[in-house]
Amino acid sequence: MQLGMIGLGRMGANMVRRLMRGGHECVVWDMNPASVQALAGEGAIGTSSLEDFVAKLEQPRAIWIMVPAGDATEKTVNDLGARLHSGDIVIDGGNSYFKDDVRRSKAFREKGINYVDVGTSGGVWGLERGYCMMIGGPKEVVEHLDPIFKTLAPGRGEIPRTAGRENISGTVEDGYLYCGPSGAGHFVKMVHNGIEYGLMQAYAEGFDIFHNANSEQLPEDIRYDLNVADIAEVWRRGSVISSWLLDLTAMALLEDPELKSYTGFVQDSGEGRWTIQAAIEEAVPAEVLTSALYTRFRSRQEHTFAEKILSAMRKKFGGHLEPRSGPK
């Protein structure tokens, strides 16, 4: 199947590579010509402008946008809307706000253009591990795109089947799910990221307790000089709190036990805030997720070992780098 990809950053470029490995034809465009040239050298069809990109795609076109949420996505969507035709498909695979999806899909529907929102999880590891996808939009359009989703997804792998799913069909065990109409995919991914904040914060606070277990403020007979890297490693093996985030934490602590290369300045990408807003609108208590978000705000003022743990995990799973200095 042919797919156009706009945005060849950490995730977009690797998604193209995974699709080409799966036998799909990829037409690519990015504001950075070097990124286009690099993938063209690997077998993608490079383009020199948005006009050239659209022209090289067969109708009905399928175009995946993988650019930062917000203004960059809004501009790209609008620019495409002025150039596409009825029957074409625009897929937003970034972390857009689900209410923006609803608005955009309504505007595109008037032109006969299909709009699909895909919450995509996998970060910089997705090329090999695959991408977990949460999808919203017209069901028949999503079904048409199934070969793309199936190639990008992790597949069943070695994960044991959940008891009782033996006679249930669907794609969830392959790592992608049709969640519902426009906005549903990004809504599910939004809450996914809100939960991620809470999980990361729980690990960070636990390791901070270990890090301070030898404090001089404690009586000598209950001071412990603990190897946090070894604790992370042993928890990976049979523990009820093992996870991929813990795997990444173990890697970071082995490389830098004191996390001296991190300041503890922890960014938030927006989904955590939107999750809390949704909780407020639904009158759902979300104490843990709210606290985790507020801790990220606080991290920009003072830095603890817990915040360095958070920074380390963000770098490991998504390649997110700390800013060189806090906001001025």
- Which positions are catalytic? 189, 196
- Residues in the chain, overall count: 328
What are the strands of the beta sheet with 2-6, ordered from one edge?
45-46, 25-29, 2-6, 62-65, 89-92, 114-121, 132-136, 176-180
| 57: DSSP letter | S
| 256 contact partners, CB below 8 Å, separation of at least 6 | 262, 312
Alpha helices (runs of H) in 130-177, residue ranges in sequence order: 139-144, 146-152
Max Cα distance, the chain (Å): 74
Contact 144, 125 (CB under 8 A): no
d(CA 240, CA 293): 25
Calculate the CA 148 to chain-centre distance: 17
- 312-to-38, 221, 241, 300, 320 alpha-carbon distances in Å: 29, 32, 18, 15, 9
Q: Which DSSP string corresponds to 266-300?
A: ----SHHHHHHHHHHHHT---HHHHHHHHHHHHHT
